[in-house]
């Protein structure tokens, strides 16, 4: 029976212009530390350890998919600024981790893997600056709450399927017409740059702070008829 191979400690290979990973990494079952591969020229996650007991940072590469990558990441999964078009094959991230996939080519969150339970004080998803139009098909409704969900800068038309409670939700610069099917309770809600917004039906029942711009279609009194909001802040 072959001995399981492992790395005890962190691996820092950032900024080295790597186009592929060393082959020996593909033989490693477990990495007990962080792996930092940001700012290289990687196109694939192949040859990474199967399980990473820390964070994995592969931001600012040329990665197109999660095929052949790790199965589990305990901490932060940082894949921003790549060319990823699908979440299929992504690793499972722990309930106190983060999934950061901003500035990619995603059109949906289908394939999103979520733990059975998440830490409301730390678990976050950043999928901003993609091409996402809907949340349907993801399994976001399987969790009850999360710390932060950032979707700004997407051509988003619906948020149906969101968890019912979100600490901070950024929906600025989207194509939303309403918040139907969205969360019931939000701490900080960002709704700036939403010129298509038409109705307050579906607005959260409660919010601590709402950020809108001066061109938002509804005044403060209208909003408070739908939502118990503590503070409405209008930006220029």
> For the segment 2-30, what is each residue's pLDDT rounded down to a tens digit?
566 899 999 999 999 999 998 888 889 99
What three-state secondary structure class fits 165?
strand
pLDDT of residue 41: 97
Q: What is the mean pLDDT of the chain?
A: 94
Question: Residues 6 or more apart from 185 whose CB is under 8 A from it?
Answer: 164, 165, 166, 204, 205, 206, 207
The percent of residues above 90 in pLDDT, for the chain, comes to 89
**Residue 236: its pLDDT value, please?**
72
In tens, the pLDDT along 172-223 reads: 999 999 999 999 999 999 999 999 999 999 999 999 999 999 999 999 999 9
- Joined tokens for residue 202: 């579906």
Task: Give the burial string for 145-184 (b: 16+ CB within 10 Å, else e).
Answer: bbbbbbbbbbebebbbbbbebbbbbbbbbbebbbbeebbe
Report the C-alpha gap between 98 and 147 in whole angstroms.
10
Give the pLDDT of residue 23: 84
Query: What is the structure's pLDDT at 12?
Result: 94
What is the structure's pLDDT at 3? 61
Q: Is the pTM here over 0.85, yes or no?
A: yes
């Amino acid at each position: 029976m072959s001995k399981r191979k492992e790395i005890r400690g962190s691996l820092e290979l950032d900024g080295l212009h790597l186009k592929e990973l060393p082959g020996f990494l593909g033989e490693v079952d477990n990495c007990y530390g962080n792996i930092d591969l940001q700012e290289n020229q990687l196109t694939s996650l192949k040859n990474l350890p199967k399980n990473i007991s820390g964070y994995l940072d592969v931001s600012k590469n040329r990665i197109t998919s999660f095929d052949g990558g790790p199965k589990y990441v305990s901490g932060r999964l940082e894949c921003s600024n790549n060319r990823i078009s699908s979440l299929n094959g992504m690793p499972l991230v722990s309930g106190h981790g983060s999934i950061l996939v901003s500035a990619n080519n995603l059109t949906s969150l289908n394939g999103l893997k979520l733990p059975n339970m998440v830490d409301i004080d730390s678990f976050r998803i950043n999928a901003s600056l993609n091409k996402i139009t809907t949340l349907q098909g993801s399994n976001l409704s399987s969790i009850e709450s999360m710390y932060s969900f950032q979707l700004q800068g997407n051509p988003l038309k619906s948020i149906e399927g969101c968890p019912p409670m979100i600490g901070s939700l950024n929906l600025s610069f989207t194509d939303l017409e309403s918040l139907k099917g969205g969360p019931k309770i939000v701490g900080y809600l960002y709704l700036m740059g939403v010129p298509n917004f038409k109705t307050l039906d579906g607005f959260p029942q409660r919010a601590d702070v709402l950020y809108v711009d001066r061109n938002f279609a509804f005044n403060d009194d209208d909003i408070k008829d739908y939502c118990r909001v503590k503070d409405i802040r209008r930006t220029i």
